[in-house]
């Protein structure tokens, strides 16, 4: 196994697996503590750790690392969001520390740049489009607000190791210069470095500098450059790509992300198809809200795809958090969407699009799915995959912040057999 990947949410795991598959690798995606399957070039473990308590996140990463290394993974890759989603306590730094300890890695980089989605790092500062992340809508994230754009400052309190920077002018000189810069950082006691990058060429340089490291961390499109390098080194032969999954049956959207982009996508879909918004702050109880949502949805399924969302604007999110607490509001939404997914699948839904990383994980766990086949990556936010159990399903698990505005309807139609 050339690579063992660990992603801190399910949509990130799907994206990473899809990019490796697009590079011609045989890839399996498993959830949490599911067994690591043999005979793969790469295995990606989806670990719902982004907003978990630090020790819970570290324990999950320890189990995943042990399983991957025990199955023969030659190196590990830690995938997190391109907006470096974390809290002051973690969990990027604590989980990276654990992986460095487990692999014996003396140095690693942190490279969240995702040019296709306009996430870039310059002089250690994270930009979303032309804005610093601290000026973007990401500052209003209900769980992981990003109010500090300097990623060196974000990472430093999260890790036991000294944090440095690999600036863009070093990367522009090529992989060998990156290697020399890393050697100088290590000689100065630095073990972790934020890596600048603005383009795919910058990421390709970073990948060429780190292709044989025991541990690398970053966005999925850093890892996407590894297969070509491994093939060049004679370590990898091309695999036939998986066909895009399709399924005969009803279609449904379950949207839990409160990002601006997901709310725009819900609004676009709702102008053309039935859509129901559940106001967490005003519902009588999760059980009552589930009964009402099922009663609303079932008569409509024969007429085409439907959408149920728990997403709201910042004021609605604040009201829900005031009622349930920050984590309690998120768990209420995830539990509701997971239970609703089970009811809809029982009613014949076979094409499901879930918006939001934590929401996707909750839905997949509620359905009892432990392994996914991932289609090769196509574009940001569109992570299409298939599950065979408990029933054959075609799924799209999308990051809340990504994807075109019209993707709900078009992706559900694309997945229809």
Per-residue model confidence (pLDDT) at position 27: 93
Q: What is the pLDDT along the chain (417 residues), one digit of tens a residue?
A: 999 999 998 889 999 999 999 999 999 999 988 899 999 999 999 998 888 899 999 999 999 999 999 999 999 999 999 999 888 888 999 999 999 999 999 999 999 999 998 999 999 999 999 999 999 988 888 778 899 999 999 999 999 999 999 999 999 999 999 999 999 999 999 999 999 999 999 999 999 999 999 999 999 999 999 999 999 999 998 777 777 789 999 999 999 888 889 999 999 999 999 999 998 888 888 889 999 999 999 999 999 999 999 988 778 888 888 888 877 888 888 899 999 999 999 999 999 999 988 889 899 999 999 999 899 998 887 889 999 877 899 999 988 888 899 999 999 999 998
Q: How far apart are CA 300 and CA 309, in angstroms?
A: 16
Task: State phi, psi for 379 to the nearest 5 degrees.
Answer: -160, 165
Q: Are 121 and 151 in contact (CB under 8 A)?
A: yes
Long-range pairs for 315-318 at CB < 8 Å and ≥24 separation? 316/279, 316/280, 316/281, 317/142, 317/258
Instruction: Verify cis geometry, omega within 30 degrees of 0, for the bond prior to 390.
Output: yes
Q: How far apart are CA 254 and CA 267, in angstroms?
A: 13
Q: How far apart are CA 211 and CA 230, in angstroms?
A: 8
Per-residue model confidence (pLDDT) at position 318: 85
Per-residue model confidence (pLDDT) at position 110: 98
CATH 3.40.980.20 fits 250-414, yes or no: yes
Instruction: Verify cis geometry, omega within 30 degrees of 0, for the bond prior to 35.
Output: no
Q: How far apart are CA 376 and CA 163, in angstroms?
A: 34
Q: How far apart are CA 145 and CA 56, in angstroms?
A: 21
Q: What is the pTM of this model?
A: 0.86
Q: Are 409 and 305 in contact (CB under 8 A)?
A: yes
Per-residue model confidence (pLDDT) at position 215: 98
Q: Per the structure block, which two tokens stand in for 165?
A: 């920077």
Q: Give residue 27's Cα distance to chain centre.
A: 16
CB count in 10 Å sphere of residue 363: 27
Protein fold of 3-232 = Rossmann fold (3.40.50)
- The domain locations on the chain are 3-232, 250-414
Which residues touch 184 (CB under 8 Å, ≥6 apart)? none
Residue with tokens 């539990």: 335
């Amino acid at each position: 196994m050339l690579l063992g990947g660990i992603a801190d949410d399910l949509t990130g795991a799907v994206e990473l697996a899809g990019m490796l598959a697009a590079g011609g690798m045989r890839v399996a995606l498993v959830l949490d503590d599911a067994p690591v399957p043999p005979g793969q070039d790469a295995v990606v473990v989806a670990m719902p750790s982004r907003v978990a308590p630090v020790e819970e996140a570290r324990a999950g990463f320890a189990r995943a690392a042990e399983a991957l290394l025990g199955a023969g993974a030659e190196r590990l890759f830690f995938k997190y969001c391109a907006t470096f989603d974390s809290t002051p306590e973690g969990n990027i730094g604590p989980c990276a520390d654990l992986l460095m300890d487990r692999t014996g890695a003396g140095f690693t980089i942190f490279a969240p740049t995702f040019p296709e989605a306009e996430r870039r790092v310059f002089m250690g500062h994270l930009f979303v489009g032309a804005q610093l992340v601290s000026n973007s809508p990401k500052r209003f994230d209900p769980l992981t607000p990003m109010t500090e754009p300097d990623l060196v400052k974000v990472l430093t309190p999260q890790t036991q190791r000294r944090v440095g920077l690999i600036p863009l002018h070093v990367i522009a000189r090529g992989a060998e210069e990156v290697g020399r810069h890393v050697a100088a950082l290590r000689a100065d006691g630095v073990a972790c470095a934020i890596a600048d990058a603005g383009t795919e060429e910058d990421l390709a340089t970073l990948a060429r500098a780190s292709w044989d490291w025991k541990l690398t961390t970053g966005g999925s499109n850093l890892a996407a450059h590894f297969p070509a390098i491994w093939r060049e080194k004679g370590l990898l032969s091309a695999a036939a790509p998986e066909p895009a999954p399709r399924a005969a049956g009803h279609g449904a959207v379950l949207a839990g992300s409160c990002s601006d982009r997901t709310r725009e996508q819900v609004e676009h879909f709702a102008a053309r198809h039935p859509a129901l918004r559940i106001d967490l702050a005003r519902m009588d109880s999760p059980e009552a809200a589930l009964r009402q949502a099922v009663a609303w949805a079932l008569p409509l399924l024969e007429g085409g795809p439907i959408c149920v969302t728990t997403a709201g604007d910042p004021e609605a999110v604040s009201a829900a958090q005031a009622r349930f607490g920050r984590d309690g509001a998120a768990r209420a939404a995830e539990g509701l969407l997971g239970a609703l997914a089970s009811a809809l699948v029982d009613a014949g839904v076979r094409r499901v699009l879930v918006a939001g990383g934590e929401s996707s994980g909750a839905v997949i766990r509620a359905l009892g799915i432990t392994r996914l086949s991932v289609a090769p990556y196509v574009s940001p936010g569109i992570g299409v995959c298939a599950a065979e159990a408990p029933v054959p399903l075609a799924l799209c698990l999308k990051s809340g912040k990504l994807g075109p505005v019209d993707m709900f309807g078009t992706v559900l139609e694309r997945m229809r057999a």
